[in-house]
Structures are given as structure tokens and as C-alpha cells.
Structure 1
Amino acid sequence: MADVSLRRSSDVVAPCTIANCNNARGTRRVDSDVVTSARHRLQRADRDLAALAVLALLTQGPRHPYDLHRFMIDTRKDFVTGLPRSIYHAVDKLARDGLIAVHGSEQQAGRPERTTYELTDAGRAELRRRVSLLLATPESDATLSYAALSFMGALTRDDALVALRARIAALDVQRATLAADLAEASGVPPILLVESRLEQARLDAERSWFAGLVDDLESGELAWLDTRA
């Protein structure tokens, strides 16, 4: 799309594009990537959904990597990509970090011997930390939310509610920030703000859905299933 120059009564604002557009006063930029609170900023390891899935599935008992791979396929954990290689890489790294440990080995007729792994105490604590963080942190990458919700049972009901309320509070901050930016962009042609309007609708819908989830958990309409080992 061609650049569009925005004018105000006293001067000319530099050209802007649909992805980066200054408001009529030239002081703020409308951006659909709302900044997450630094306190909840996710690190690379927090985004490793293969590792998260391994930790969560091992709460049900020792398994070997191939079994973990098959279980993810059978239960449609589609947010874990790069299978099966990502699972084997995750197992190796988690073992090096002391979050899982070798439990033993097993062999079935006609199949190679396979090493089984179990969750360590450090791994259980790390699982709870990662799930809580992902639940509490709004991200444009929806797969992170799907993973956190899928493994929410690794937490207690009360801990899950704390994380969910933190997410709602963070969403409220994001919504207010974006609304203020849009209000100050009154001089910008609306066609250049459609992606920000979409982001606004997405944030509103996400906030409404998670608030409903909290209400259902608090009222008991949605029964809690504790899947902790």
C-alpha cells in the first residue's frame, strides 16, 4: 500500500504506512503488538512447548520418548511441532538440566531397547512455573495459551485462578493502552488502522473468554481435575 502523508494545521507529519502510522499530533504510534509487562516477559525456554509437554506427560509416570511422541499424536497436542525430533531434543535437554532423569529401560519383542524417563522434583517445580507463567501472560501466539490450558491441571485450582486473574489484569492494561493509542490517532485515515481494530477485537474477546473461565471455576460449574503426580 502506498504511503500516506498526514497533516495537521501547523505542520506536516512524516509519511506513514499501514504498519507504522503516527497520529495527527505526531506523538504516538499505533501498533498492534501491545507490549507485555516486563514482569511476565517470556524467555525462550518458556516458549519451548515440546519440553513443556514432556514435563507434563511425565507427571503420569515414566515413559520413553517414542511413547511420549505417540501420546501427543493420540491426544492431538497440535501445539507441539517438529515431531518426533522436537521430543527427543527436549528429552535430552531436560535430562541435562536435571528436570527429568533416567528411570530404566524396557524392550518389547522385535523392538530396540528404549530408555524410560521420570520427572524429578526440580522438574515438577519447573512445570508449575512454566504453566503458571504461560497462563498469566497474554501473547499473540495462541499456541502458548492452548498449551497452558491443556496442562493447567498441573497446578492447584487456586494457583490456576491466581494466574488467570493476572492474565485478565494484563489484558486490561493492553486494552487500555491500545484504546488510548487509537483515540489519539483520530487524524489517521481509518483504513490504515484496521489491523489495530482487529487487535482490539481480539483482546476484547480473549478478555471475555478468560473472565468466563474464571467465573466457571469459582462457581464450581467447571469441576477441577487435579492431574498433579
Structure 2
Amino acid sequence: MTFRRSTLAMAILGLLENGPLHPYGIQRLIKQWGKDQVVNVGQRTSLYRMIVRLEEAGLIAAGATERDERYPERTVYHLTDAGREVCREWLSEILTTPRNEFPEFPAGLSFVMLLPPETAGELLARRRELLTRRIAELRRELEATVDGQPIPRFALLETEYQVAVTVAEAEWIDGVLRELRSGTLTWKPGPV
């Protein structure tokens, strides 16, 4: 069975590398380790559906059922050899192959000419303010500790990347705003 790669599936397989977990434990680690910033977990039902699909594909397997008087029964899942192999393949593909992921912002920019330049400038200035806040949040995450210990750098590489990309976007917007203010970038609003 061919399984379509997704960041949620890879996160589940990756977390199970450390040992068996129940779905709630997987969800808790995704949040605790900040992986929810780069993996769209969605609602809890999305996680459970993905676990079922991974199990049906033979990439993970159900193990024991844990019992705790405070919680309902929880099935613990572990990574299969096939799941480990698929996770490594996906990781290799993701790290080596640039992909156009069609984010919304560039799509919006492609139709900016529908707005007056002044309005576009106001909207981009607002985005720039939000980016400034996001950069500060990300930098705080880089300085976070767990149990008083700094988080190892290898566990924060995605956050470092997000800082770099967000800073680059903010600098690009600064340049566009300068050009809009000086009048070197302008257009007549309306249909193309």
C-alpha cells in the first residue's frame, strides 16, 4: 500500500522512534516540543484518523492497552520496521527537494494590483507589525528551557528556520513599503 506523505504522519512516525506511545501522548509531545508550529495537527480526530491509516498501512502497530484509573483505556502504538523505513525516506525527500507549497501570501501578492497602492501599503505595514511579534515569539522559543535545561539546538532547527524565513519576509516587506512610500512602486488599481 502506498501511503501519501504528510507532516502529521511523519511527526507520528518520528515520535514513535523514541518508543511506544498512546495517541494522547503523541499529541502532548507534538505540543510540548513545539512541533505544532510546523505540523498541522488540527483537531484530535485528525490525529486519531491518521493513526488508524498508519496502522492500516502497516507503518505502526497497536501494542498493549494501558489502564489508569484517571483515564480511559489507551492503546499504545509502536513503529514497525516498514514505518521506520518510510519515515527515513520521507525525511530524505523533504530535506533534499525544494517544493513549491503554494502559501497564501504569495497568492495574495499576485493580485495586489486590485487594491490601491496606499491600501496595499497599509495592509503590508500591518503584516510587518505581526511579523515583528512573531519573530519575538520565535526567539523566545529558542531561549526556552525544559526542567531548567536549555533545549538542544537539534530540536530547535525548525524554529531557527522559521526565524530566518520570517526575518527575510519582514525585510522584503520593508523594501516594498519604502518603494510604495517613495512612489517608485505604484499601479492603477483594478482588473488586470
TM-score, with length taken from structure 1? 0.42
Q: Which has the higher contact order (CA 8 A, sep 6+)?
A: 1
Structure holding more helix per residue: 2
Structure holding more strand per residue: 2
Whichever of the two has the greater Rg, that structure is 1
TM-score, with length taken from structure 2? 0.50
